[in-house]
Every structure is written in C-alpha cells, then in structure tokens.
Homo-oligomer: A and B are copies of this chain.
C-alpha cells in the first residue's frame, strides 16, 4: 500500500486484505488499463479494456505486439489497472443516497515484458484459464510462432488497493417514512446457453463450458455443476 493508492474518500470502503483483493481479481473478466499517452507537452490519459490473469502476486496482460498500449507499457510507462465487480443497485428513498454495491481493485505500477519461452507459455495458459478455468488443458499447446507473436506483460501487485460497498440502503432518518420502494437489486454475470461453432464436433458440451459461471451462482441462470464432476 502506498500513498498513491491510499483512499482519499470514504475510508470505510477501503479493504486492506490481500486475499480479498485477489478474490476480486480472480472473479473479474476484464480490466480497465490506464496509461498516459500523447507526448510530453500534451499528455492525456487513455483507458482500454483488456483481458488479464492473476498468478500469485502478479497480474498478466497480453496482446498483439503492435498494440500501442502494450508497446508503451513495456517501455516502462506507468499503468493503472482497475477491475470492478458490480454486486447490486442500491435504491434509496432520496436520489442522493442511491448507490451501487461493488468491489473494485486498483493496481498501479510498471509492467515488464515476459520473454522467456516457458514462462510466457505458462502466462498465456493462465490468461486462458483465468477466463475459462480448466480450458488450457482442453486445447492444443500454443505453437511457437503463436507464442512469439504475442506480447505478454507482467505487473507486480505490490501497489494495489481495494474499495467496496457491501451494505444495504443508507437513508436519512427523515426519509424513512417516505413511501418510495427502497432496497437492493442484486446484480451478477448472466450466462446464456453455449453456442457451438458451426464446425464444432459433436453435441456434447464439456463441463468447463456447460457449467461455466462467475460470481454468485444463483443469479447466473445456468445449471449448477453436479457434485463430483470435473
């Protein structure tokens, strides 16, 4: 935790627990990666959505070598990577007290390129498995040309912070008799029926696809994975 990531506002929403930070990063699907673009005289911020993966206390980002953001980041540009999970809409009796329950993690620092072949392959597998656990074991190994043709960056999670709102409606006492409905609308990740590619072999949908879900299971509209399946 550094001065830069110390929370300026609502310190009650700060979460210091490293396990909680990792849990948010593991549940998220997309990160918003910010850096400073433009030249020295006219710098401006840029924020781009990216896939990512966590492994221990580092985060991986990847993309095509031509990606402007990755090229800048691997030259040492500082990045700010933010992952946000929305848990509920908070409907209060006044507009002011409307809010959202959420968990978000902000990681700052400088990324470096992963160049060593085996480490890069492991990072690419982590990136696939972050989004779809177990997936990398179900597909062919990456060809060398594919590994060489992808840029992978690693960002240490040394400077990160978490903020969360997890409570119910917080209304002014004067408003409690107001007839407006107040409460929470829980949010999660909805999952549709998997859509096989035209050439996809067979009608059997493997477990890592059929039971894919993220976050609170009861919200996602998909069958729960039976006990004992792998």
Given that A30-B100, A45-B36, A100-B30 are contacting pairs, would A219 and B199 also be in contact in the complex, using a CB cutoff of 8 Å? no
Task: Flag the segment in A14-22, A88-96, A111-119 that touches B.
Answer: A88-96
How far is B209's CA from A179's CA once the two chains are assembled, in angstroms? 14
- Interface flags, A76-115, vs B, CB<8A=1, else 0: 0011111010101101111110101010101010000000
Assembled-state Cα–Cα distance A164/B79 (Å):
23
Asked whether B44 lies within 8 Å of A4 as measured between CB atoms, the reply is yes
Q: State A185–B179 Cα separation when bound (angstroms).
A: 41
- Report whether B219 and A146 are in contact in the complex, using a CB–CB cutoff of 8 Å: no
Q: When the two chains form the complex, which single residue of B34, B92, B138, B169 contacts A180, counting CB atoms closer than 8 Å? A: B138
Given contacts A44-B78, A82-B49, contact A185 B169 (CB under 8 A): no
Q: In chain A between 115 and 135, which residues have their CB closer than 8 angstroms to a CB of chain B?
A: 124-125, 127-128, 131-132, 135
Q: A37-B4, A44-B108, A49-B104 are in contact. Are A95 and B196 (CB under 8 A)?
A: no
- Bound form: Cα–Cα A92–B29 in Å: 17
A192 contacts B180, CB within 8 Å? no
Q: CB distance B181 to A200 under 8 Å?
A: yes
Task: Please name the residue on chain B nearest to A179 by beta carbon.
Answer: B201
- Say yes or no for A223: interface residue by CB 8 A criterion: no
Please name the residue on chain B nearest to A150 by beta carbon.
B96
Q: List 30 A-B contacts (CB under 8 A).
A: A8-B66, A8-B68, A9-B66, A32-B34, A36-B36, A36-B44, A45-B78, A47-B82, A47-B106, A51-B100, A88-B192, A92-B139, A93-B140, A94-B142, A95-B146, A96-B146, A96-B150, A98-B128, A138-B180, A138-B181, A140-B175, A168-B198, A182-B199, A184-B197, A185-B195, A187-B189, A187-B191, A189-B189, A190-B220, A221-B221
Besides the known contacts A95-B127, A168-B197, A186-B192, 9 further A-B residue pairs in the complex with CB atoms under 8 A apart: A29-B100, A30-B102, A44-B108, A88-B195, A183-B196, A183-B209, A185-B195, A187-B190, A188-B191
